[in-house]
Every structure is written in C-alpha cells, then in structure tokens.
Structure 1
Amino acid sequence: MSVFDDLAGGLVISCQPLLDEPDDPMRDPYVQARVAASVVRGGAVAVRANGVADVKAIRAAVDVPVIGLHKQGVDGVFITPTATHAVDVAVAGAHVVAVDATDRRRPDGRTFADTVRAVRARTDALILADVSTVAEGVAAVRAGADAVATTLSGYTPASPHRDGPDLDLVARLAALVAVPVIAEGRYRSPEQIDRAFAAGAHSVVLGNAVTSPLWITRRLVAATRRTAAGNSEHRA
C-alpha cells in the first residue's frame, strides 16, 4: 500500500513560512510543528514541509505522511533543486520528497531522473514531481515519479500566469498519467477544492490560505483598503 493511498480524497496542508519573508515570525521548526499538529487535528491527511529542520520537527509531531522539500532559489529552480537536497530531506524523515520536475536546467547539472535514482538508492521515500505543464508531468512519470503535482503552474515561462489554480492542468494530467495527480497552487476556497476533485485530483494542497497569518492578514488588509477607497470615491 502506497503512502499516496492515505492522501486519496483529502486535503494536504503546507506548513511553511513565506519564502520571500526571511523575518517571518513563523520561521521556526517548533512553531511549524505546532501548526502541523493543529491542521492534522483538523483533518489534514498529510503535511508539506520545507527544510530538514522543519521536516524533522513535523515528522515527530504528527502521525500522517510528511511531504518534504528544500526551497533554495537557484537559477529559477527553487523546490529541491539538487539531488543532495532531495536525499537530505528524505533522510530527515520525509515519507515523500517533492522535487522540481520542470524542464529547466538543475543547478547540479543532473536530471530529474538522476535525482529520483539518488533518493531511491539511499532511502525508501517516494517522489512527488512538482510540474508546470502537461509535458513535464508526463516526462516526470516516465522518469520514475510516484505522483505529480501542479505546484509550479504559473511560476514558469511555459505555464499560464493567473490568480487562481490551474484546474485545466489537473484535468489534463489526470487523463494522461497513471499515478496520483495532486492539485496545488493558489487553492483558497471550498469551491476551488471541489472543482479540483471534479477535475480528477487525487488530493488537494492548501498552504498560505490556511497556515500563514502574515499572508492572510496582508490580503485582508489590502482588500479592506480597496473597499475603503471605493467607498470614499462613491461618497465624493
């Protein structure tokens, strides 16, 4: 039985501080482990975590699968950019390692398939391919990925940039590959989650909309200011 069987039909919650906020007060393994324990109590079927320290802390705090990754921006490839990063995250305790599987050049000069082989040689962890296009997803499965995720749609030159999730990519991948398709990327509402499952998603990942007070508050403040400005113009 695969770890991914435990994820079927459920929500995976990404417990990560904001990548572009080095001073985010949530940037602490203990804090992220407490957040993870809370979302698991709320019904999350798995947790996605960034970095060796957070993976170790969260693995010790929850009894659901941990999807680990290592975010390090190098030449545009920032989700587990090297085979060494992938192995380190797996050794730290991740049941699944999320790896950038786009067609961009990896900073260690190795291919996605090389990374898959490196993880398999050292650990029992499964591989989740984070992709931005259908072609990348199909290629990742051929290279040995155990599942694919739409995480990078909208973040590469080859994919459409939009405010909401790429439901079309979910549907197209679900129709083409024989492994689980994980819907991830800008999911923020129950309606979007329902649409992802209707499109064929195996599970759905939510992140900032659940676990980042900084992101949530900024979004609400910005909306409030727009509303206030609009009301002022109307009164004028």
Structure 2
Amino acid sequence: MNKEEIFKSIKGSVVISCQALPNEPLYVEEKSIMYLMARAAKMAGSPAIRTNSVRDVIAIKKETGLPVIGLIKIEYEGSEVYITPTMKEVDELVDAKSDVIALDCTFSKRLNDESINDFIKSIKEKYPDVILMADISTYEEGINAYKCGVDMVGTTMNGYTPQSIKENINNLELVKKLTKEIDIPVIAEGKIHYPYQAKEMLDAGAYAVVVGGAITRPLEIAQRFINAAKGEI
C-alpha cells in the first residue's frame, strides 16, 4: 500500500499494537508468537498492526498481509530515547519492508546529542519515500515533528518523559490541541485501557487510535483485575 491507501484504511479505526519484550511472558526467544496476536487483531477488524523488532515486522506482514507500523526498541548508553533511535534501526526496518516507521521524536537526549530535527532530515534524505510516525510526548514536540515533515504524529510518549510529566496534559487534551494545529493524522496512543476511551479519542479528532497493552499484554491485563479485587485501583 502507498501512503494514501494506508491512511484511508486506518482512518477512524483502532490499530492494534502487538509487542512482547524479552522480560514479558509472551516473549519467546526461539520464535516470536506475536503473529498470533496479529492474527486475532486482524480477525477483530484492525486495519494495521504496530509492532517492535524486525522479526515481528516480517512475521506479522507474512501472517496478516496488513500494513505494519514498525519500530525497534533498543537502549544506547548516553541516550534517553529507545524507539528507533538511530539510522541503524531505520535501515533494518526499511530492509524488513515496514510500511511505516515509528520513531521517538521527543526532545529527550539522543545519542551524540543529535537533534531530532537533524535525524528526521537524515532519514528523509536517505529514504525520501519512507512514511514516518513521530512518537511524541508534548504539544511542542508534535508541532516540531510536523514542521520537520513527518507523516503522522502519535501521543505515544506522553507521560513517559520528564517534559510531558511536567506539562501534565492527558492524551485526550493533547490530541485536541494537536488536531487544531496540524493537517496530518494525529494518532492517539498510550494509556487507552477501555473501549470508551478509544471512542473519546476519535470524537476528539484523532485520526486513528493505537491500543496495545489493554489487548495484547496479558500480564498487565491480569494485574489490573487483581489489583481491582484488592481495592488497589
């Protein structure tokens, strides 16, 4: 699919994030099982999948035939960002034929103090046709990523960076602010645990919603029920 076709397919929909990190119960070192989660997501009607790692991008595309928003989570010493932080990860995702590449576009410290503006510029120079999803945490970061030429802005990192914690704005309000100022898709992502919240995001102007932990992370889901039973909501 080209960009217009992908955007048309996800508009007004819920994109399911299917990820499992090495410390999580559904992570299997020998062979990823995330393609099974993606199979279920497709059966439920998800028009696209967001996933982490080259192996999951490849497996999920093969299993579902759906467009994939790919990313690579990796930590580097001296860097505060971990979602597709360097060109190495971008190269790997391009080679894996990820339809969209998601990357941290916050103002957090990057490797070698590279600015996010320079990183986006480098990506677009090397891969002029790449579709980029900017994972941001604040309104200012969203506006900046938009001005740098990304294709989508997602609220993924809101509440996970010092600057967004200080700003103290929830994702619903962040979506409302961004959609008034930019003319590219604003994707609501993060802390969406219930169906009514997804609907609220779409009603607030979100182009689409990404939901992960509430659907594909059974440990988190089980903990919410157990904590509720204990009165620890």
TM-score normalised by L of structure 1: 0.87
Q: Is the 8 A contact 2:70 2:98 kept in 1?
A: yes
Deviation (angstroms), 1:109: 4.1
Alignment of 1:143-222 (within 5 A): 143-160=148-165, 166-222=171-227
1:6-45 to 2 correspondence within 5 Å? 6-17=9-20, 19=21, 22-28=22-28, 30-45=32-47
Distance 1:111 1:7 in 2: 30
2:58 counterpart SS class = helix
Amino acid paired to 1:104: S
Equivalent residues, number: 224
Q: Which moved more, 1:132-141 or 1:77-86?
A: 77-86
CA offset at residue 146 of structure 1? 0.4
> 2 CA distance for matches of 1:90 and 1:27?
23
How far does residue 129 in structure 1 lie from its aligned partner after superposition? Answer: 0.3
1:131 matches 2:136:
yes
Distance 1:11 1:113, change over 3 A: same
Deviation of 1:5 after TM superposition, in Å, equals: 2.1
1:99 to 2:103 alignment: yes
Alignment CA distance shift 1:123-1:91 (3 Å): farther
Tell me the residue number matched to 1:231. none
Counterpart pick for 2:94 among 65, 90, 105: 90
Indicate how the Cα distance of structure 1 residues 157 and 186 shifts in structure 2: closer, same or farther if over 3 A, else same: same
Q: Which moved more, 1:66-75 or 1:145-154?
A: 66-75
1:220 positional shift = 1.3
Does structure 2 conserve the Cα–Cα contact (< 8 Å) formed by 1:165 and 1:186? no
For 1:51, the equivalent position in structure 2 comes to 53
| Runs (5+) with no aligned partner, structure 2 | none
Q: Percent identity?
A: 36
Q: Is the 8 A contact 1:11 1:44 kept in 2?
A: yes
Aligned residue for 1:201, secondary structure, equals: coil
Deviating runs (4+, > 6 A) in structure 1? 161-164
Residue identity opposite 1:222 in structure 2: N
Q: Could you tell me which amino acid in structure 2 is paired with residue 47 of structure 1?
A: I
- What code does the residue aligned with 2:54 have? V
Cα displacement (A) at 1:225: 2.4
Pairwise CA RMSD: 2.2
Query: By how many angstroms is 1:110 displaced?
Result: 3.3
Alpha-carbon distance between aligned partners in 1 of 2:210 and 2:8, rounded to the nearest angstrom: 15
Which protein shows a greater Rg? 1
**Paired amino acid for 1:195:** E
Question: Does structure 2 retain, via aligned residues, the 8 Å contact 1:90–1:119?
Answer: no
Match for residue 63 of structure 2? 61
Contact 2:121 2:148 in 1 (8 A): no
User: CA separation in 1, counterparts of 2:138 and 2:192?
Assistant: 17
Q: Measure, in 1, the Cα distance between the counterparts of 2:13 and 2:228.
A: 30
Which residue of 112, 116, 122 corresponds with 2:116?
Answer: 112
Conserved? CA contact 1:165–1:187, under 8 Å: no
Q: Secondary structure at the match of 1:167?
A: helix
